[in-house]
Each structure stands twice: as structure tokens, then as C-alpha cells.
Structure 1
Amino acid sequence: MAKSSSLNVRVVEGRALPAKDVSGSSDPYCIVKVDDEVVARTATVWRSLSPFWGEEYTVHLPLDFHQLAFYVLDEDTVGHDDVIGKVSLSRDAIAADPRGIDSWINLSRVDPDAEVQGEICLAVQMLEDALGRCLRCHVLQARDLAPRDISGTSDPFARVFWGSQSVETSTIKKTRFPRWDEVLELRAAPGAPSPLRVELWDWDMVGKNDFLGMVEFPPQVLQQKPPNGWFRLRPFPRAEEDSGGSLGALRLKVRLTEDRVLPSRYYRPLSELLATAVLGPAEEDAASPLAVLEELTSGDCRQDLATRLVKLFLGQGLAGPFLDYLTRREVARTTDPNTLFRSNSLASKSMEQFMKLVGMPYLHEVLQPVISRVFEEKKYMELDPCKMELGRTRRISFKGAPSEEHVREASLGLLTGYLGAIVDAIVGSAGRCPAVMRLAFKHLHQRVEERFPQTEHEDVKYLAISGFLFLRFFAPAILTPKLFDLRDQHADPQTSRSLLLLAKAVQSIGNLGQQLGQGKEVWMAPLHPFLLRSVSRVRDFLDRLVDVDEEEEAGGPARALVPRSATVREGYLLKRKEEPGGLAPRFAFKKRYFWLSADALSYAKSPEWQNVNELSQWLSALRKASAPNPDKLAACHPGAFRSARWTCCLRAERSAAGCSRTHAAVTLGDWRDPLDPDAETQMVYRQLLLGRDQLRRKFLENSSVDTTPEAGTVKGSGSLEGACPDALARQKAAAARLLEVLADLDRAHEEFQQQEEGTVAPGPLGP
């Protein structure tokens, strides 16, 4: 059994940010921090005061995290980046609403005295002697302090207050991991008991000292349980400064999920119910877990549920039957083929998440070369006369700026060139598409063809597939390549406009050209001949895509998304050379290109192609890759052993224990993560609990329902009206079985909770 805690964070957009550049604009980006650790950084949006990021992160956390903070900065090519403001959310504020936070929040000013981090280790004793009460404070060490000096370190010392007395430790120079090991004694003054306050400061030779943080203990704690251990540093208590919106605002979506994951055997009955549902008839299935979940969820909750279900069935080797089950339900209740899969149903969301989970390597292989060309060449392309900037393109003659017609012709040539490369890459990729995706599309093709066999609906079977593959996969990736890991940065405004034109064209091809000339964008007409020529190639591609045997699905049950030998992270890092016994070289670090897989970490001088990754992503990937290692250390040295001492804590013993706690519990969720069926089933169980009462009322407490064979119809409401008595009896039995499974899981959770609280003796539990 394990407890899990994760944050779903989406940095949506900003508005009304102040201008930090002389041009009257800013180049904003956002940093996400959990307590003292930076976990994510958005891309920079160039020249914008109302940036849109739309970046989403899943952060797996330790259970004792305290605060989530968002810092907005303006990127500068010269000098330090300018801090614009921040948003701080406490753990309690996030957990207050189970649905999470989804709102605009004003940025507040960044106060250096409030930007504290790290911990201090103390041992306090309360003594009595002939002279009265005495407090003995053993200040041992501190770790991960904020860097206050230009060297990236600090010169920390501790100041202890008790009543009217104060005493200081010595100053440790140039370290963020000081070790004092000093015992300070203070005598009690007459009067009421006083709290103990320990402050950390950075000593400066010139100017005032910089505050590093503090801890405070009330008199009751000192008397009953004197502090002994590590304590998190906090800022001075002060009222939160409200900028009144003068620094702008961030739109954030944050949801905290905390749960207890039981051993696998407790989830087996629910997993079997889910598997039985997807392998059975979908049309009469109103009481299965999947039918209940679809009825209960909507919006972002449905998208999260779809991701969980896809991962769960991928882990069981049943992703194909699961998607086919949802497709049958969706197709059966659709009467107008023009509305098929157009809503955000569970079937649509599941197929969309399925493509992202299993098709990302395929997407990168198909689109990466063309997207890289668009970013690197930075060609000006525009067909809309209202948006044309004639001065932005290359001059055609010495008579002045090019005409609108010349710009249109040049743009048309560039667009058709890029589109030709995109279409060629897509239509030639049928054999490289993952087998499990091809099978899912084959089943989709068959179900739609069976439902709409008429000649006038000949295109529906193609549109069903292209609606997912082109409109929900290829086109969004072209429009926002950063969100699909195709680029490290968002596009600048000119490149973003070019990508928008390409995405619109790919959408038109995915619609098989049926809406060409029907919209308001008549300026796209010069592209229509090329788009219509591409439609026939796309039809042929879709025919080849679904021409796959059932036996070709690779992997079998519990298939991993990424093989152990596959690269899960790559990019440049600085590798430190092994220091010789003599004088250390001046430059001991070399830039090397690293590859990380589940089996090994390797490097070389240069890659075959470059893909720069953020340090936080590297740390997360390394932590996940080393998770099964039982020999991981609880502490490490963030510095190097150089000149006969560690540069971080200044200790002279090479074998000294690490001075910084390893943050192994903080990792970023990624599509490459291994499947965890137990965690996914636990989430499904939580969702089903929300609909338990509704399920009981609908199937087991409906006294107006006559289930005798003589009854030709069923009296009731909703989906039960007109149901076959035999089908209704099966639905009632399925509902009763589902409620029984949920009750068993309820009891298992209660018993585990009682064991943790020590109210029951540990022993065998559950089924």
C-alpha cells in the first residue's frame, strides 16, 4: 500500500502584465516551484503583455509539501531577467475545493525577505538550576539556504532570541549548507514564558545583512516537547501585499489529488468488471462501470478520467476492445453522421488521449523535420490581405515595397512547399503508425461503415478517422508544437502565424475538402487546388492505415508505453571531469550530450541531432529511472569535491554524508511514464463512488420497474423506458455486483486507515 499526492497544474495565460523592455512590451515566462524546488518552466512568449502558454504539468509530490508558487519573469538577452511578480498558493488553499482552482489571480510583488528556502537542524533543552530556568539551543546545521551573494552562495549565521536575550553563532563563509555545531545558552527573564525564535542571516561586509529565514516555537511547545530535528525556514510574518492588479494576473488551473493505493489484489474485482464490460455488448450496457462513469463526468474531469482509463486498459492489453466498446456506444446513439464524435464524449476524449499516449513517437517522426524547418527558416507567409505587412517580405524590385499580389504569390509558394512536405510525411507513414493505433482506427472504420452503409455516407468512415488523426492530433501539434514536445519554445508571432496557416490547411485536408469555400476565410482560396489534390492521397492513406491484421498488435498484456531500452530523455548537460591528485584544473566541466533510458545513462561529445531539455525534466527523468534502485541515498552533495573539500558544505572528508536532502519524491508526469494499473483503478473507484447513490436509485430502488417476463415494456423514466425485461434484469444484476465491489473497496480502505491510526491490529485484510 502506498499514499500518493499529485498536482495537476495548468498555466493558461496572463493579462495586463507591465512592460519591462524599452520597446513597451515584455518577453514573459513562468517558473513553477514546489516549496524550494523549481519543477517546471514555461516557454517564453515574445513581445506580449497578454501571453498565452497553455502548458500543463502533472507533478508527483511528497505528502508533506507546503506551497506552490508561480513566478512570472521577463526574459532578457543581456543581464538578469526581470521579475514581474508571483502567485503563491498554500497546500490548504489548493485542497479546500476538491475540484481545484480555476481562476484569474493577481500577481503580487516579490519581497526578497519573503523568498526564503531551506531547513535548519536544532536540538533544544529546557533546564532548571539554582539560577532559574535555562534554555540550551544546539544549532547543528542548515541546508538548501537561499543564495544571497553574487557568487551563488551565502555567509550564514544564526541568531537566537528568547525573551529579551539574544545570542549569535559564528559566520560560515561561502556556503548554503553551513555546519555550526554550536550550543547557545539563554537565561529566562522574570515574567511570562517567552517563545523561542531562531533567525538565519547572510552576513555582508558592506550594507545590511540579508534575511535567510526563521523558525519560531511557542512556550507550550518548549515545555511539553522541546524541538529536536529539522525544521523548515519561514519568512517574517507579514500581511500579503496586494498589488491591486497593477502587476497583471495569471489564469491558473490547479487540482490536488491525494489518495491511498491499495495492494493489487483489492482492485482485481473492479478490474475484472471493467474488462468484462468492454468485452460485452455495448448497446444494452447501462449499469456497467463505464456507462456510470460516462454519465457522471464532464469537461476537464472527463478528460482526466479518459486518460486514466486508457492507461488502465493499455496495462491490461485491452486498449483496442475498450475503444471499440466506446465507439459502439457512440455510434449506436448517433443518428446524424455529421455530428459523429463532434462532442466531448468519453469516446472522443479517450481516443484523443490514446493517440497522445501511444502515438507521440510517431507524431515526432512525422512532423519534427517540417516543424523544425518552419522555425529555422522564419519565412514570412500571409494570404489574408487584412493582415499583410508588405514591408516584412523581401523586395521584388527597385520600385519600392512589393505589391499585395507579389506577397500572396510568394506566400502561396512557401505554404504549398511546407504543406507538400507535411502531406508527403503523413501519407507515407502508414507502416510506421503504431499497430495498436492502426487497429483502433480499423475498428472505428468498421463500426461507422456498419452504422452508415448508405452511398451518400461514403465519406463518413474516412471522416471519423481523419477527425481524430488530423483534426485532434496532427493539426494541434502543428499549431502549438511546444505543447507536443516538438519544440522547446513557443513560436514568435511571425512563425506562430505561419503555423496557424499550415494547421488550417491540414484541418481542411482532414475534412476531405468538404468545407472549402463555405467559411468566412475566402482568402484561403488560392490554396484550394492543392488541398483538393491532397484529399485523394489522404483517402488512400486511410485505406492503407486500416489494412492491418488483428494479430499485428504488438506487446500483449501489460505492455509498457516505452521499451526499457528506449531513450526517455536526452540533451546537453555539464559533466565534471575526475579531478587529479594535484592542482585542480581551472575548468573542470565539459559540455556533453546525454541519453537516459531505463537501463543506462550514457553520453558522448555531440549528438546526431540536438534536443535541449530543461534541467527539471532531467532531474525528474533520472528520479523515475532510478526509482527501483534500493541503494538510493537520502542525502547528496550538490557541489563537487574540489581542493580537498566539498564546495557545498565545505567539509574536508570525501566520504562525508550528503548535506542536501534528495528530492526523489518530486517528479513530473510524462507520456513515457510506466503504466500503473493500481493507481488508475483507484482513481476510477473514486469516480464511481460519486455515482453510487444514483446507481442504487436507478436500478435497485425503482419500484415502478416490472421485471417479469410477461411485462412487454418497462415502466420508469430515463434510459429504462421500453427496455427488454431480460436486459433490465441483467442491468440490475450488474448494478448490484458493482455496488458490492465498491463496498468491498470501502471496507479495505477503512481497515487500512484504522491500521495506520493504530486502532486495529495489523493482519490479513480484504478478499
Structure 2
Amino acid sequence: MLENARGRCLRCHVLQARDLAPRDITGTSDPFARVFWGSQSLETSTIKKTRFPHWDEVLELQEMPGAPAPLRVELWDWDMVGKNDFLGMVEFPPPVLQQNPPRGWFRLLPFPRAEEDSGGQLGALRLKVRLIEDRILPSHNYRPLTELLTEAVRGLAEEDAASPLAVLEELTSGDCRQDLATNLVKLFLGQGLAGPFLDYLTRREVTRTTDPNTLFRSNSLASKSMEQFMKLVGMPYLHEVLKPVINRVFEEKRYIELDPCKIDLGRTRRISFKGAPSEEHVREASLGLLTGYLGPIVDAIVGSVGRCPPAMRLAFKQLHQCVQKRFPQAEHEDAKYLAISGFLFLRFFAPAILTPKLFDLRDQHADPQTSRSLLLLAKAVQSIGNLGQQLGQGKELWMAPLHPFLLQSVSRVRDFLDQLVDVDGEEAGGPARALVAPSVIVREGYLLKRKEEPAGLAPRFAFKKRYFWLSGETLSYSRSPEWQMRFSIPVSHIRAVERVDEGAFQLPHVMQVMAQDGAGALRTTYLQCKNVNELNQWLSALRKASAPNPDKLAACHPGAFRSSRWTCCLQAERSVLGTA
């Protein structure tokens, strides 16, 4: 739970549900979750035709200060015609939220005073509710801490147990260390010191490591920070490399299975094969499909040197040099490669293949059959990232038919890594400039758009559906993806990107983009997203794209200027400065 001047905020991570009641004639349901906290409510996306939905969505709800409110999560079956059908609910009183935040599986219950007892047949819901109290002070209060942290990375000490970063690492673990890494990476990116920061942490960890096989295998601050750095800087690169093949896997829906214990001959007969296929036939066909997907993935990766963000390449070069200096022996020749591939393949490419929705590669999670295909592809990419060192070991010997292809790919990956670290510091440029490449479309999709109200006119503007594209150069939009006429806002003209209070338009998930027009005047465009996850993704993408812009606004209004006054502070003067 986050607490600030605008009220309390609760984060509810809706993970999945199981054994839901079938409400449709197909014997399944189209479930979605609706979360209530105080006067606020939000919904997840709808997962079609399943009794075992997997959402993995984080919903944030705000409530004005006052008495603590219970948290209620309801599951509903979406219906195109008629009313939605109730599936079950869970509820947690305020003391539980504050003292023992819910985390795990919870049995779904009927509405209180329901006419019929469900008999315990409503299934279960898996939740993770996190309560945090953050008190955000004006930025000048953090200046001494910022200076202390930046001085730590400018020093030359590789092992200093008393340094601020070393102390922070010792005091954190788990989710807390993850949050610490995310905030530190953002801080040092903003200061233009992401490279020195990562170099400091990696040098510190490499110095403390005696066995190269254990290098960066733990969830240390160095590992978490490099992982978050790749996600913040390299997401457009990841999309460019993986999205074409990921889309193919989702669209083709082919049955793929190599494990004899999991092969379902009945399913293969219904889906992919004619006649009565044998187990060997299924494995051969699956091997062909897997290599058909893996080939383009490996080709895209090894051919992506020029598209990898320069800031990432420079960070990998520093890591490569540090490991090579620490382990110069011939028997540790692969250590410098494994240090990089361990991050790039095992912590970036493979997780994105396994769960594309979490990396914004797809709007929905995969169905079980597609999830299995993605799992096999992710395992293969992990093996390539390990340079084939663990092939033939462990319990998954049924992956052996794929080994020749994987081993052929290893030498190509070594060459790729050599080229990746062949970069000059000047080439890398400033970290902020490297966040979004000018020509790459980093985000696109439908949003609802509204202009600010001109002075002296009655409020008559409504939100209109438009298709948006965001690149490093422009935020452009048109009536549809196929529409020829596009309007655009230069990213270099953006001065602020912020959320808008729900009360401004009586609508949720609204943000504002404030940009200068050709005459230098500030103009505000309001954009509404369909849910809080989409809102956060657009906010993040727009802020990254406009990160290097000068003359950013120090504050802006969280409301809108409507009917001759601001909805937030009720001031009647449009030019009055914002406070948020």
C-alpha cells in the first residue's frame, strides 16, 4: 500500500484461478476478475474458454485517506449477450491487509446470503497482495543521498564493505532487492552514470567470486541491476528480435512435444496429424517444428549486433573485460562469454519467450498448448546461452534430438558475443539517448484521445478512438492502422507525461502528454487506456522516449482545465502552476 498526498494505493497481483465453475454451454467459462477497494474498482482482462485462467496482472487501486477498507476480488464469466455470470469471490478485512498480506491460493466463496450453497465447487484463486508505505518528499530532500550514491560509483574501490551500495545490498533481499535494483538503475540512468554504476557492481561481484561457474548465479544486486537495466534500455531491441517468431507460434498453434511421457496421441490426431501417428512420428514432426522456430530466432539474435542499444553493448564490454581479467586461465576461456550470455540469453531472451505477455510481446497469455511450445523453445535458447555445456545432463534426456542443432548454434553465438562487445565508449553515447532508437516503433495500439478545452468555449470535446504509434522521434496517430493521414507530436517537444486524476473526466486510466507546439505554447493531449497495466506501459514508454528532452516541467496539474477552472485545485486561472 503506497501512501502519499493523493491517498492510499494498494497493489493486487491477480495471478491465476483453477477449477472454476463452467458457465457456458461449451463446459468452460470466459473469466475475468474485478477488484474492489474502498470506492475504487478495476478489472483484469478476460481469458476466453477456460476454467483455469492465468492473468498475472497487477492492479493498482487508489483510495482517499480515511478508514481502512476491505479488499474484495470477484470472478465473473463474461457473456456477449445478457448479464455476466458470477463465479465466486474472496474478501480480506483491513487488519489482514496490514498485518498479513494475502499471498497464495484462496477458496472462492459465494456471495453472502446466496440462495444456494455452492458446496465448495467454485474453485480457487491465487493472489499476491503487497502492502508498502512510501512517503515521497520533494526532490531536493534526496539530493544528499543521490550525491552519496553517485560518489560511490565514481570511486575506484572494487571491494568496500562500507560503501553505500554495499550496505544497501546487505540490508535487502527478495522483492525488496528487486525494487532497490530498479530504482538504482533509473537513478543512475537519469544521472548519465548507468555504465559506471553497472561496472562498479560487476567488478565488486567478480572480485568476490572464486569459481567462475557460480558467477552472477545468485540474485545479487549486480545481477538484479543488470537484469533491470536490460529491461529498461533493451525492450525495443527485444521486440525487434523475438516478436516475429513469437507471433508465428501463437498464430500457428502447432502441437509440439518431445517428452515421451507427455505425448498425447489423441491430441495429435485431432490437431496436427492424419491417421494414427506413432510416438516416433510425433517426435520427428515436433523436432522439425522446433528447429523451424529456433532457426529464425538464432538468425535474428546473431544478426542483431547493430540493433542492440549501444548502452547495453558498452555494459557487456565492461563485463567481458572484467571477467577476462579475473579468470585469464585457458580452462576458463568460456567464462567471459557465459557472463554475458547468462544475462542476455538466460535472463532476457529466454524469459521473454516463456512468458511473452510479461515483456509486452503479446496482449494475452498463451493457451496451454502454446505455452508448452514456448517452454520448449525457451529451454533450447537457455541451452544455447549456456554454450551447450549442460547438454546431455540432468533429467531431460528427451531433448537429445535437438542437441545437434543447439551445438551448431553455439559457435555462431560466440562470434555474435565477440562482435557485441566490439564497441567504443563514444559510440555508445549518452544512456538517456540510447533508451529509444529514433526509427523503432516501441509501442502501438488503440487509445482514446481528447484535446484540452480552448479558453472561452463551452466543453464539447469528447474522447475519440485513435490508433497510436510511438517511436524515438514521434508520437503519431490516425483513425485506424490503415488510415493514410497521420497526425504527430515530436517526441523532442514533450515536456511532461503524467497520470490524470480519475475525477477530472470521471474516467479511469487517463494520462496527459504536455508538448510545445510550433509557436512554443504548451498543449495538452489526454489519452485514456483500457486498464492500469496498459496505462503503466504507455507512461513508461513515453517517459523513456522523452527522457533526454530539456526544459522538463517541474510540476503539472493532476486534473484538467474544464469549465473555466482546474478540476484539481479549482483555480480559475489556466496559467497557474501545477503542484504535483
TM-score, normalised with respect to structure 1 = 0.57
Does residue 627 (structure 1) correspond to residue 502 (structure 2)? The answer is no
Q: Which ranges of structure 1 fall in alignment gaps of 5 or more residues?
A: 112-237, 577-587, 610-623, 639-661, 678-767
Q: Give the aligned partner of residue 549 of structure 1.
A: 424
Deviation at 1:34, TM superposition (A): 4.9
Change (3 A) 1:528 1:60: farther
The within-5 A match list for 1:421-500 is 421-500=296-375
Contact preservation (8 Å) 1:20, 1:74 = yes
Counterpart residue number, 2:505: 636
Residue in 2 that maps onto 1:18: 21
Change beyond 3 A, Cα 1:309–1:590: closer
Separation in 2 of the partners of 1:83 and 1:315? 47
The one-letter code matched in structure 2 to 1:10 is H
C-alpha contact (below 8 Å) 1:395/1:402 kept by paired residues: no
Q: What residue identity is the alignment partner of 2:23?
A: K
For 1:450 and 1:43, how far apart are their aligned partners in 2? 52
Query: For residues 198-226 of structure 1, what are the alpha-carbon distances to aligned partners after superposition, in whole Å with 9 as ceiling and x for unaligned?
Result: xxxxxxxxxxxxxxxxxxxxxxxxxxxxx
The 3 A distance-change label for structure 1 pair 285 and 35 is same
| Matches of 1:369 and 1:311, distance apart in 2 | 29
Task: Find the counterpart in structure 2 of residue 570 from structure 1.
Answer: 444
Structure 1 residues 515, 45: CA separation in 2 closer, same or farther (over 3 Å shift)?
A: farther
Paired residue secondary structure (1:341): coil
The separation in 1 between residues aligned to 2:273 and 2:437, in whole angstroms, is: 59
Q: Distance in 1 between matches of 2:42 and 2:503?
A: 19
Q: CA distance change for structure 1 residues 106 and 554 in 2, over 3 Å: closer, same or farther?
A: farther
1:403 to 256, 278, 287: 278
Name which of structure 1's ranges 277-286 and 444-453 shifts more when overlaid on structure 2: 277-286
Partner amino acid, structure 1, of 2:505: C
- In structure 2, the partner of 1:364 is 239
In 2: Cα distance, 1:323 partner to 1:243 partner: 55
CA distance in 1, matches of 2:17, 2:503: 38
Equivalence map 1:346-385=2 (5 Å): 346-385=221-260
1:305 aligns with 2:305: no
C-alpha distance in 2 between matches for 1:306 and 1:508: 27
The aligned residue for residue 30 of structure 1 is 33
Q: Does 1:254 align with 2:255?
A: no
CA distance in 1, matches of 2:195, 2:340: 15
State whether residues 309 and 435 of structure 2, in contact with CA within 8 Å, keep that contact through their aligned partners in structure 1.
no
Aligned: 1:314 with 2:317: no
- Whether contact under 8 Å (1:395, 1:401) holds in the other structure is no
Q: Point out the more displaced range, 309-318 or 15-24.
A: 15-24
Which residue of structure 2 aligns with residue 84 of structure 1? 87
Structure 1 residues 500 and 600: alpha-carbon distance in aligned structure 2, compared to 1, 3 A threshold: closer
* Partners of 2:227 and 2:347 within 8 A in 1: yes
TM (norm. structure 2) is 0.74
The counterpart of 2:479, out of the listed 604, 623, 628, is 604
Question: What's the counterpart of residue 619 of structure 1?
Answer: none
Structure 1 Cα separation of the partners of residues 339 and 63 of structure 2: 39
Tell me if structure 1 keeps the 8 A contact 2:39–2:63: no
Structure label with greater radius of gyration:
1
What pairs up with 1:582-621 in 2 under 5 angstroms? Answer: 592-595=466-469, 602-607=477-482
- Please list, as runs of the form range in 1=range in 2, the aligned pairs for 1:94-113 lying within 5 A after superposition: 94-96=97-99, 100-110=101-111
Structure 1 vs Structure 2 CA RMSD: 4.0
In the alignment, the residues of structure 2 paired with residue 66 and residue 673 of structure 1 have an alpha-carbon distance, to the nearest angstrom, of 34
1:502 corresponds in structure 2 to 377
What letter corresponds to residue 495 of structure 1 in structure 2? T
- CA drift of 1:567 comes to 6.8
- Deviation of 1:463 after TM superposition, in Å, equals 0.8
1:21-420 to 2 correspondence within 5 Å? 21-22=24-25, 24-42=27-45, 44=47, 46-49=49-52, 51-56=53-58, 66=69, 68-75=71-78, 80-89=83-92, 93-96=96-99, 100-110=101-111, 246-393=121-268, 400-420=275-295
C-alpha distance after superposition, 1:42-72 (max 9, x if no partner): 46275344x4443345667765695644332
**Residue 533 of structure 1 aligns to a residue in which SS?**
helix
Aligned residues: 495
* Equivalent pair of 2:323/2:336 in contact (CA under 8 Å): yes
Secondary structure of the structure 1 residue equivalent to 2:297: helix
Cα distance between partner residues in 1 of 2:322 and 2:425: 15
Structure with the larger RCO, 1 or 2 (CA within 8 Å, 6+ apart): 1
Q: Give me the whole-angstrom Cα distance separating, in 1, the residues matched to 2:283 and 2:228.
A: 38
Structure 2 distance, partners of 1:405, 1:608, is 50
| Separation in 1, partners of 2:211, 2:93 | 48
Partner SS, residue 674 of structure 1: helix
1:627 is matched by which residue type in structure 2? E
Aligned letter for 1:104? W
Structure 1 residue 574: Cα displacement:
7.2
Does the alignment pair 1:674 with 2:543? yes
Find the residue that maps to 1:55 and give its secondary structure.
Answer: strand
Asked if structure 2 preserves the Cα contact closer than 8 Å seen for 1:86 and 1:110, the reply is yes
Q: Deviations over 1:175-215 (max 9, x none)?
A: xxxxxxxxxxxxxxxxxxxxxxxxxxxxxxxxxxxxxxxxx
**Aligned residue type for 1:86:** M
C-alpha spacing 1:606/1:335, structure 2 compared with 1 (3 Å): same
CA deviation after TM superposition for structure 1 residue 406, in Å: 2.1
Cα distance in 1 between the residues matched to 2:438 and 2:301: 28
Q: Is the 8 A contact 2:465 2:479 kept in 1?
A: no
**Secondary structure in 2 matching 1:380:** coil
Deviation at 1:107, TM superposition (A): 2.7
Identity across matched positions, percent: 68
Measure how far apart 1:299 and its partner are: 1.0
